Chains A and B, each alone.
Chain A
Amino acid sequence: MIRTSRFDLLARIGAAVLAAIILAAVVMPLFVPPDDPHPVDALLPPGAGHLFGTDQVGRDVFNRVLYGARTSLTIALAVLVLAALVGVTLGVLAGYSGGWIRDVIMRVTDVFLAFPALLLALALAAVLQPSVTTVIVAIAATWWPWYTRLTASVAASVARRGYVDAARCLGVRTPAIVFRHVLPNSITPVLVQLSLDAGGVILTAAALSYLGLGAQEPAAEWGLMIEQGESLFTTKWWVVTLPGLAILLTAFAFNSLGEGLRAALDPRRLTR
């Protein structure tokens, strides 16, 4: 029920920026190979040959920012899919079954929610070897409880609806009730939350990479690029500024789009 007229300017800007980023991340690398180091061309300022200039070892910064988009979007997608799978499964289980199962699951999520995502991810990333996979696992491990909470409250109310009782009276088995009735009717708020959370995941992943716990050289990753260029900021601003702007724009696009989706799907607004 998303009518475009309900979408305000900010959400439209977000959607347009996001479309451009996805296009750049998916299509551009098909035509442009990843740039190799050319030490002769190191630290050239932005200009005709290199739109965003070159980095410490002479790689084109624009090229690396493009490939960085690929890394960031992949991480965000993987984290959200993993977290949503675990979170929604436990949430539906808690919400539908109720009783002590619900209590146990909810107390466990309370414990995980007590650790701010970056902190738990920091501790986990220190346990595992630094890599993109580590970042994905560490962030997913901190993100799932939100979806459990969200799904549990919706599923609990769905489970008490008349059509669920009717299905049960007709002898429909529990798994069928859960998958055919409870799950589809509990999933919308999760989908909205996912688009709102993608920005947060990208920011957390960039922070972990910046701290050296994520992608490693020679991978193109925005947080890593900022960490590597940090000491050059005063003199060679483009090495650090452009990857930072890329993170900002991507997070902004997801956040604005998510806000817009939430507003458009808010049932109270539909009736007003």
Chain B
Amino acid sequence: MARYLARRLGQAVLVVFGVVALTFVIMRLLPGDPAIAYAGPKASAADLAAARARFGLDAPIPVQLWNYVRDLAAGDLGTSLHTRQPVADDLTLAFPASLELVGAALIFAVAVGLPLGVLAARYKTRFPDFTVRLSSMLAVSVPVFWLALAVRTLFSSVLGWFPVAGEYDAALDSTSPLHVYTNITAVDALFTGNWPMLGSTLHHLVLPALVVAAYPAGVIAQLTRAALIEESAQDHARMARALGFGETAVLTRFSLRPVLNPVLSLIALVFAYSIVNGFLVEAVFNWPGLGRYAADSIRTLDTPAIAGVTLLVALLYVLANLIVDLLQGVVDPRARTR
């Protein structure tokens, strides 16, 4: 186990270095010259040179890469050109909002996808199975930005059941201001007992979270179904059947446990994907998360900010993969030799 752990961690560190280097390359390829963006379009040649020196852009590329890595190690992601704040500070504000959205979406996706997967496996090749397979296939095929637009139009604009945009009612900032601890509004509101704020946040959260949940709910249902069908053909399931357990009991009491392992791995993997899918949903619902920040950064060619978001999401992905592999290694000794 120790050797597996060391090898897997070593691999992760290598990948992180690669991710940093690739982010640096993309950043250098970005068209906007950060010096021009900083100094303004009417800056003189001397001002430009000063701005270049300030950002270290006059140094040779390898030196710039080294400086970049050194700054990253100190938690310095540079200064955003459009907010004029340190990118690290911007991200600590934006990321919790994305986490709130994707967290709520994944909870919903598991709550819906897992039972549907079980239902489909129980009535394999019959009508409920076909319905689940059809709807989960539609859920993974729907363009998320279009679904967000359609849901917003129907439930907010036309029916008026839910708010159109934002994370909570802005008026609450004065009537019941939030004490910020984690920056995840719903969590902070819950733990400080700020009920009006919690209610407003949850009310704003429902639609975007449902839209983000579509894809994970679909893949969770598909995987649960496939894994359960495979598992219920195993000898231990046949044994249970021979002992007189009904089909539903065989599935839920004997086959479901081993299936939860791959489903958990899938959730970790789908997490990073959902963060990026959430970008499009955030844009539609004006959710103050990473997606809106990334969209603003791309529009203003804000190189350090784009690099910061890219790096953060890529690192999340590496971390999610690492956790999955380590958990698999703990649970299943065969995985260690792979």
Contacts and interface: CB of A to CB of B under 8 A. Distances in A.
Contact of B306 (A108, A123, A240): A123
Which are the 8 A-B pairs with shortest beta-carbon distances? A111-B18, A244-B146, A251-B141, A252-B141, A116-B276, A233-B153, A247-B143, A114-B314
Given A115-B317, A127-B31, A247-B143, A210 B138 contact: no
Given A116-B272, A252-B138, A206 B298 contact: no
A169 to B, nearest CB: 30
B318 A256 contact: no
Given A111-B18, A127-B30, A207-B145, 5 more contacts: A107-B11, A114-B321, A206-B146, A210-B143, A223-B143
B141 A233 contact: no
B66 interface: no
17 contacts: A114-B314, A114-B315, A114-B318, A115-B310, A116-B272, A118-B279, A119-B309, A119-B313, A119-B314, A120-B310, A122-B279, A123-B26, A203-B143, A226-B145, A251-B143, A252-B141, A255-B141
Contacts of B11: 107, 110
B15 interface: yes
Interface of A: 8-10, 107-108, 110-116, 118-120, 122-124, 126-127, 199, 203, 206-207, 210-211, 223, 226, 230, 233-234, 237, 240-241, 243-244, 247-248, 251-252, 255-256, 259
Contact of B22 (A115, A199, A240): A115
B63 interface: no
Contacts of B321: 114
B60 to A, nearest CB: 22
Given A9-B130, A211-B295, A124 B26 contact: yes
Contacts of B140: 255
Interface of B is mostly: helix
Interface string B138-160: 10111111110110010001100
Interface of B: 11, 14-15, 18-19, 21-22, 26, 29-31, 125, 130, 133-134, 137-138, 140-147, 149-150, 153, 157-158, 272-273, 275-277, 279-280, 283, 294-295, 298, 301, 306, 309-310, 313-315, 317-318, 321
Contacts of A118: 276-277, 279
A107 B18 contact: yes
A40 to B, nearest CB: 27
Contacts, number: 132
Interface residue SS majority, chain A: helix
Contacts of B273: 116
A206 B141 CA distance: 12
Nearest to A259: B137
Nearest to B138: A252
B15 A127 contact: no
Given A119-B310, A123-B26, A244 B143 contact: yes
Contacts of B294: 122
A257 B298 CA distance: 36
B233 to A, nearest CB: 9
A247 B280 CA distance: 16
A107 B19 CA distance: 11
A126 B19 contact: no
Contacts of A119: 276, 279, 309-310, 313-314
Contact of B19 (A115, A123, A230, A243): A115
Contacts of B26: 120, 123-124, 127
Contacts of A123: 26, 30, 306, 310
A240 B149 contact: yes
Contacts of B138: 248, 252
Nearest to A253: B141
Contacts of A207: 143-145, 280
Nearest to B130: A9
Contact of B150 (A114, A116, A233): A233
A251 B30 CA distance: 31
B298 A122 contact: yes
